[in-house]
Amino acid sequence: METKIVTIDKLDSPESVEEKLACAGGIIRQGGLVAFPTETVYGLGGDALNPESARKIYAAKGRPSDNPLIIHIADMAHLNQVVCEIPEKAQKLAYAFWPGPLTMIFKKAAIVPYQTTGGLDTVAVRMPSHPLASLFIKKAGGYVAAPSANLSGKPSPTNARYVVQDMDGRIDMIIDAEGVEIGLESTIVDMTSEVPVILRPGYITQQMLSGVVGETDMDVTIYDSSSALAPKAPGMKYRHYAPRGELVIVEGDPQKVVKYINEQAALHEADGKRTGIIGTQETLSEYRASSIKNAGSRSDFRVAARQLYTFLREFDDEDIAYIYAESFADKGLGQAVMNRLLKAAGHKVVQV
């Protein structure tokens, strides 16, 4: 299959943007697949109401078909069509955080095929805030099922170059545009129980959610990797975001962390193995290795969130065999960063 790559930039007139997205939307209506930017990561879109489109998404990603897809909408009125009921707390959260990086789980309506929900009676819905995503969804008919646009297991793509790397030849079109600002996938909250349960941490933190609806719970498997329970979001059980190199997270007193990482890096480098480090503003100048990435200040995790997947992909491009990452505070946005980092590392953590 030839994949058409369509670039949209500031030089495009509104008419040109409209025309390009109408073409992309037409592909979705006809059962094809289009990768598109959102404010979180790039999505791999297909018609959410067409079982055949869901099948194609799983095939393109190499994703297990029990891992349900998120339905993206662009119009609040469309939520009613794909869910059975909208609990009051969900209305409040939608009002507070949509459009934006929040996905909510509802009981599904009959028109949503089981192929889209991975066989579940519930459905995940999000309304993205990226203006191009929004217009694209409208042109596509209003309901776009979209997981992240990476091959299963690889880091989610935060720029079109990585979408092309994974999806060229496997889908109909890739829309290349700016505006992927957050860099981590949406927060997922299950609204089917009285107390909403966070299934995947993200940019919308537990504190922000509780500020709107009061008590919220967190799926135990998010913070307890030794839990014998299966995660409630089926996708959370799979190995994710893994770079080719071996990734280890190092926790402890910052000076000890720097010393340990530098010692390990020196050993590997002496052995001819290129080593990468994910450090922070506060420690960066002290590191010595082939590739050193700056995850921003420890007082603001937005840079770490935005850059994490890019770093992991760059380490692959740079042929890095060993990677050491500082750990991030397990609260607020740091919790989302840490959750993805732990998955990428297969939960390998060293305490120093």
Interface positions with ligand AMP (CB under 6 A): 67-68, 70, 105, 117, 120, 122-124, 147-148, 185, 188, 199-200, 232-236
CB 117: neighbour CB atoms within 10 A? 23
**Minimal CA–CA distance to 180: which of 165, 163, 200?**
163
DSSP 8-class letter at 3: P
Which listed option, Mg ion, ligand AMP, none, makes contact with residue 84 (CB within 5 to 8 Å by class)? Answer: none
Do 265 and 275 contact (CB within 8 A), yes or no?
yes
* Partner in contact with 51, chosen from Mg ion, ligand AMP, none, beta carbon below 5 to 8 Å by kind: none
Q: Which does 234 bind (CB under 5 to 8 A by kind): Mg ion, ligand AMP, none?
A: ligand AMP
Give min distance, CB of 225 to ligand AMP, in A.
Answer: 16
Residue 120, Ramachandran bin (φ over 0: left; ψ between -120 and 50: alpha; else beta): beta
| 70 interacts with, out of ligand AMP, Mg ion, none, CB within 5 to 8 A per kind | ligand AMP
Q: What angle do CA 197, 125, 217 make, to 5 degrees?
A: 5
Taken in order 233, 234, 239, 241, is the CA torsion positive or negative? Answer: negative
Whose CA is closest to 124, among 232, 238, 239?
A: 232
Question: Please, which residue, 148 or 339, has the CB nearer to Mg ion?
Answer: 148
- What percent of the residues of the chain are helix, what percent strand, and what percent coil, each to the nearest 5? 35, 20, 45
Distances (CA, A) of 149 to 11, 156, 250, 351: 25, 7, 29, 34
Tell me how far, at minimum, the Cβ of 124 lies from ligand AMP, in Å: 3
Considering the complex, state which of residue 206 and residue 339 has its C-beta at the smaller distance from ligand AMP. Answer: 339
Q: Rounded to the nearest whole angstrom, what is the least distance from the CB of residue 350 to ligand AMP in the complex? A: 27
Using CB positions, name the residue nearest to Mg ion: 148
Minimum distance, C-beta of residue 148 to ligand AMP, in the bound complex (Å): 4
28 binds, among Mg ion, ligand AMP, none (CB under 5 to 8 A by kind): none
Which one, 274 or 306, has the nearer CB to ligand AMP? 306
CB of 185 to Mg ion, least distance (A): 6
Cα(209)–Cα(217) distance, integer angstroms: 10
* Coil/strand/helix, residue 322: strand
Q: Closest separation between CB of residue 235 and ligand AMP, Å?
A: 2
Minimum CB–partner distance for residue 337 and ligand AMP (Å): 16
Of Mg ion, ligand AMP, none, which one sits near residue 191, judging by CB under 5 to 8 A according to partner kind?
none
Closest chain position to ligand AMP (CB): 235
CB of 67 to Mg ion, least distance (A): 8
105 binds, among ligand AMP, Mg ion, none (CB under 5 to 8 A by kind): ligand AMP
Sheet holding 187-190, edge to edge: 4-7, 173-176, 34-36, 43-47, 144-145, 70-72, 122-126, 102-107, 187-190, 197-200, 217-218
Residues that bind Mg ion (CB under 5 A): 148
Q: Which is nearer to ligand AMP, 70 or 175 (CB)?
A: 70
Residue number, 70 or 209, with CB nearest to Mg ion: 70
Report what 199 binds from ligand AMP, Mg ion, none; CB cut-off 5-8 Å by kind: ligand AMP
The residue type found at 158 is: T
Of 87 and 201, CB closest to Mg ion: 201
**End-to-end Cα distance, the chain:** 50
The rounded distance, in Å, linking the Cα atoms of 347 and 340 is 10
